[in-house]
Amino acid sequence: MLTYDGGCACGAIRYQSADPPVEAGYCHCRICQRSSSAPVLVFASFPVASFQYRRGEPNIFASSDHGHREFCNQCGTQIAYRDAQAAITVDVNVGSLDDPSAVAPEMHIWCDSRISWFDTHDSLPRYAQEKTKTDVQSGED
C-alpha cells in the first residue's frame, strides 16, 4: 500500500497518510506567506481520517479565527494547516513530505494576495481567493 510520509527537519515529528491527497496547490494568502517566510506555500490536502502523526506531537498556533498551523516545537518546521472546527482535511506543506515530487500542484488559490514579483508562469487554474467555480481567474495574473 502506497503511503505519503513526511516530517520536520529535525526528525522529532513524523506523519503519514494512507490515502492520496484530495487536492494540491499553491497558496498565495498573506498568512501562508508570513508563516512560511516565502512568496507562496505549496500544500496537499489529505483526508483527516487517513492522516496521523506517527512520532511526536506538533505544537499548534491559531493563525486565524478559522484555522491553525501545526509545527515542530524543536526545529520550528511548519507541517500543516487545519480548520479549527470540524476539519475534513489536513493541508500538509508539500516540502515536509519525504518525496515532495509525489504531489504536484493543481491550482493557485488566494491570487489576490500574490506578490507582484513572483509568478510561476504555468497554466494551472488561478482563483482570486478560495477555490470556487465562480472565482476562477485567467492564467494571466
Output the pLDDT for position 86. 87
Give the torsion through C-alpha atoms of 82, 63, 4, 11, to 10 deg. Answer: -130
Which residues is 41 bridged to in the sheet? 27
Spatial separation of the C-alpha atoms in residues 1 and 77, rounded to whole Å: 27
Residue 113 sits at the vertex; the CA angle it makes with 108 and 114, to the nearest 5 degrees, is 60
pLDDT of residue 136: 40
Per-residue pLDDT of the chain (141 residues), as tens digits, is: 689 999 999 999 999 999 999 999 999 999 889 988 899 999 999 999 999 999 999 999 988 888 899 999 999 999 999 988 888 999 999 999 999 999 999 999 999 999 999 999 999 999 998 775 334 444 433
Domains, the chain, with CATH or none = 4-137 (2.170.150.70)
* The predicted structure's pLDDT at residue 127: 92
Q: Which amino acid is at 121?
A: H
pLDDT at 24: 96
Q: What pLDDT is attached to residue 117? A: 95
CB 49 within 8 A of CB 115: no
Q: Take residue 126 and report the three cell numbers written for it.
A: 488561478
Residue among 93, 82, 122 nearest 33 (CA): 93
Q: Which three cell numbers stand for residue 116?
A: 507582484
